[in-house]
Amino acid sequence: MDWGGIFSSALSDMLGPSAAIYALAAVGLNLHFGYTGLLNFGQVAFMLVGSYGVGVSVAKYGLPLSVSVLVAILVSVVLALLLGVPTLRLRGDYLAIATIAVGEILRLFVNSSYFEPLTGGSLGLTDPALAGSGPQRLPNQGFTELSPFVGGKTYDFGPLHFLGSDLWVMVVTWALVILACVLMFLLMRSPWGRVLRSVREDELAARSLGKNVFSFKMQSLVLGGVIGGLAGVMYTMNIPGQVPTNFMPEITFYLWVIVILGGAGRIVGPVIGALIFWFVFSFLGSFLTDLFPGANANVGAVRIAVVGVILMLLMVFRPAGILGNKEEMRLEVR
């Protein structure tokens, strides 16, 4: 068994574009749950609208990348408003139910043959039909043109190996993660952030002090949704041929694992969680493939099962995560 290759691949994936994208989406989820107490079980929905918002804008309508990113942010805001207005005044489990449902509804929407001229249907964002009679444009066109790295070239950093295209996505996405964490740091030490914490700990007490709890919840849902939408944008920059099956509900499950693993309500908790998650995820994939060469088709299922067991053990022995504490995980569903 090639242990050197397994560890090298795991370390590369730990810092790679997928880990950065998941870390960014988890920062948004951490704002929802860790700081506000919102049970969002559909963060993948924000990633989907961000991904398709920028992808359709570029591939079908030929909009510049900067405008397309603004479109992705706008649709993320609209989705948050549509989710929040009917649910945030009710008990927390209503939002949980709504987010689960909306995530699947949106995935089925973009997969529908009826909307194929707009979304590409099951063929996804690289479907030639999106470009109509004009030239075919990849959704990440414009982004790759800004890259200082050669797309097909492999860059070596000791045991780490990255393609130029992956390296560019990785650099930009980790920069966004850092900016998002700095924003969370500043916001959580502002009066706004202290109100969010009070809403999470005791909503009735916050309301009795004259705080508009619904407004603060909505602001948190919108901001966390926008961060999730930006993660979806970078997802498309990394994989321009996005298809609906890339936005299955298990992505939200992975994001919850990342948030809980790193520590809910901690600034860098999602980052630490994403690094550990992707190292373990990649290590298990390579290890199981080498251990059972003829069972590649089952490696994915076994890997997910192992991640589930790890999550259960984590909840038993370290329920607040690596950086968290028990106070950060207390949540009374109202």
> pLDDT tens across 178-221, in order?
999 999 999 999 999 999 999 998 888 888 888 999 999 999 99
User: What is the DSSP track for 49-82?
Assistant: HHHHHHHHHHHTT---HHHHHHHHHHHHHHHHHH
Report how far residue 279's alpha carbon sits from residue 11's, in angstroms, rounded to the nearest whole number.
6
Torsion sign across C-alpha atoms 97, 103, 109, 112 = negative
- Please state whether the predicted TM-score (pTM) of the whole model is above 0.85: yes
Q: In this predicted structure, what is the pLDDT of residue 91?
A: 72
Residues contacting 186, CB < 8 A, separation 6+: none
Mean pLDDT of 47-66: 92
Query: 118-177: per-residue pLDDT in tens?
Result: 888 888 887 666 655 455 677 887 898 888 998 788 888 888 889 888 999 999 999 999
Q: Given a cut of 80, is residue 37 above it in pLDDT?
A: yes
Q: Which fold has domain 3-128+143-329?
A: ABC transporter involved in vitamin B12 uptake, BtuC (1.10.3470)
228 vs 291 pLDDT, higher one:
228
